[in-house]
């Protein structure tokens, strides 16, 4: 055979490797992939089966067992507010000085004029002693001037002295009298300064807070960085009212002398009768509310300033509210399930529904009285489903 020009036979090679090796490696890799995919599918199936078998916990809405008024069905509006003393004062000193005595503490009752505190007064007492001594001297001079003037009047009547001598005696007497009045004014001023070292109660009340202590310096208008202004805060507990904000859109339902019930956040089981005393004639632009002031018709020592309160405005035809302070334990009627054994509630305890038999009473609005059963604050399930069982797993609805 003749070699073709331009052909390079040296580039020709014979493949001596096993052709099945590559095929075997590919099969092994493919088997591993199929195994992994199969494992994931089986795991997903198991998880799905477990979830399907066990079921998701039922989502439930809840409410609280609470105290309500027996007249709740007559409530036309509810507003929140705070107990505020209408007569309250921060008692300060008119003089600057160091407190040397403090006679009352928080919670103590005082009468008008009682000395609450005393500030140092040695310098004022020294001034008072000096001006009183000056007054004594001028009084002695006035006595002499009056005696000389009396003699001059007698001598002038007998033409024994001239008119000029008489006028001189009279002017000296008038000057002595003026000096005495000036010294008396000085004594009165020093006595006022001394009185200002006593810090007295301006009205009958109760000490709410103590803002300074013995050894601290008090001064009007806080003259120094380390000085105090108010020594104590005093409030007339007989002037306590509830200040409640009512929405502008609801203020039309509030009138002066309208009967109300007041509930303190601290004592929800107690109801206090009251009346609308004042509707403040201005609105809060930021909150779109109008302030109302509620007068207590009955009050006790548990009512304290700055306590949170809720005001339940009653309908105008509520009539006599003498029984308004009666409270009952109640729950939303939708929480009561009727069974063959009687009414029951389902309490939410952790993540479980616990069945509880109850004895119910009267219905007040949308609430039903609980005569026997869980106490106030118990969380119960609203609208329990017929399939809900005792001990079932549940979860609060979002």
pLDDT the model gives residue 141: 92
Residue 388: which residues within 8 A CB-CB, separation 6 or more? 58, 346, 353, 381, 394
Global pTM value? 0.62
pLDDT the model gives residue 11: 56
Find the domain containing 208 and state its range.
88-119+197-235
- Say yes or no to pLDDT of 225 above 50: yes
> Does 17 or 240 have the greater pLDDT score?
240
The CA distance from 390 to 355, in Å, is 5
pLDDT the model gives residue 327: 75
- Same-domain check for residues 150 and 262: no
The band of 1, judged by pLDDT with boundaries at 50, 70 and 90, is very low
pLDDT the model gives residue 227: 64
How many folded domains does the chain comprise? 4
Q: CB–CB of 110/104 below 8 Å?
A: yes
> Does 42 or 249 have the greater pLDDT score?
249
The CA distance from 74 to 25, in Å, is 87
The band of 270, judged by pLDDT with boundaries at 50, 70 and 90, is confident
> Does 362 or 29 have the greater pLDDT score?
362
pLDDT the model gives residue 52: 43
Helix (H) or strand (E) holding 117: strand 115-119
Mean pLDDT of 334-340: 90
- Same-domain check for residues 216 and 174: no
| Domain-embedded: residue 43 | no
Q: Which of 4-13, 36-45, 276-285, 330-339 has the lowest mean pLDDT?
A: 4-13
> Does 103 or 10 have the greater pLDDT score?
103
The CA distance from 185 to 179, in Å, is 10
Mean pLDDT of 117-137: 94
- Same-domain check for residues 185 and 127: yes
| Domain-embedded: residue 14 | no
If you average pLDDT over every residue of the chain, what do you get?
Answer: 84
Three-class secondary structure of residue 300 per DSSP = coil
Six token digits for residue 114 = 């009682």
Crossing angle of the two packed helices 163-195 and 122-157, in degrees rounded to 10: 160
- Same-domain check for residues 309 and 243: yes
The CA distance from 123 to 190, in Å, is 10
| Domain-embedded: residue 133 | yes
- Same-domain check for residues 217 and 246: no
Residue 318: which residues within 8 A CB-CB, separation 6 or more? 71, 74, 259
Closest residue by Cα to residue 150 from 134, 172, 131: 172
- Same-domain check for residues 178 and 290: no
The band of 377, judged by pLDDT with boundaries at 50, 70 and 90, is confident
pLDDT the model gives residue 325: 52
The CA distance from 297 to 159, in Å, is 83
């Amino acid at each position: 055979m003749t070699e073709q020009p331009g052909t390079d036979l040296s580039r020709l090679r014979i493949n001596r490797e096993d052709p099945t090796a590559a095929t075997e490696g590919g099969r092994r890799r493919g088997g591993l992939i199929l195994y992994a995919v199969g494992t994931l599918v089986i795991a997903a199936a198991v998880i799905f089966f477990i979830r399907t078998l066990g079921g998701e916990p039922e989502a439930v809405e809840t409410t609280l067992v609470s105290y309500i008024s027996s007249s709740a069905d007559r409530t036309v509006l509810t507003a929140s507010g705070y107990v505020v003393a209408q007569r309250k004062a921060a008692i300060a000193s008119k003089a600057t000085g160091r407190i040397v005595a403090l006679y009352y503490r928080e919670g103590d009752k005082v009468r008008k004029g009682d000395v609450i505190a005393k500030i140092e007064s040695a310098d004022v007492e020294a001034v008072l002693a000096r001006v009183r001594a000056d007054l004594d001297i001028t009084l002695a001079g006035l006595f002499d001037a009056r005696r000389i003037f009396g003699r001059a009047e007698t001598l002038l009547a007998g033409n024994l002295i001239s008119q000029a001598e008489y006028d001189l005696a009279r002017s000296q007497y008038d000057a002595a009298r003026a000096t005495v009045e000036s010294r008396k004014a000085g004594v009165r001023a020093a006595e006022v300064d001394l009185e200002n070292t006593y810090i007295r109660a301006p009205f009958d009340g109760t000490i709410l807070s103590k803002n300074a202590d013995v050894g601290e310096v008090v001064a009007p208008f806080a003259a120094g960085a380390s000085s105090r202004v108010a020594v104590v805060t005093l409030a007339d507990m007989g002037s306590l009212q509830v200040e409640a904000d009512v929405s502008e859109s609801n203020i039309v339902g509030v009138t002066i002398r309208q009967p109300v019930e007041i509930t303190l956040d601290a004592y929800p089981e107690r109801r206090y009768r009251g009346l609308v005393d004042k509707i403040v004639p201005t609105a809060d632009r930021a909150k779109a509310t109008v302030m109302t002031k509620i007068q207590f018709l009955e009050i006790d020592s548990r009512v304290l300033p700055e306590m949170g309160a809720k005001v339940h405005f009653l309908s105008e035809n509520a009539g006599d509210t003498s029984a308004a302070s009666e409270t009952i334990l109640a729950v939303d009627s939708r929480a009561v399930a009727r069974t063959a054994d009687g009414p029951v509630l389902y309490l939410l305890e952790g993540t479980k529904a616990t069945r509880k038999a109850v004895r119910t009473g009267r219905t007040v609005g949308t609430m039903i009285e609980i005569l026997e059963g869980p106490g106030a604050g118990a969380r119960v399930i609203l609208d329990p489903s017929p399939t809900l069982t005792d001990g079932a797993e549940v979860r609060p609805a979002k």
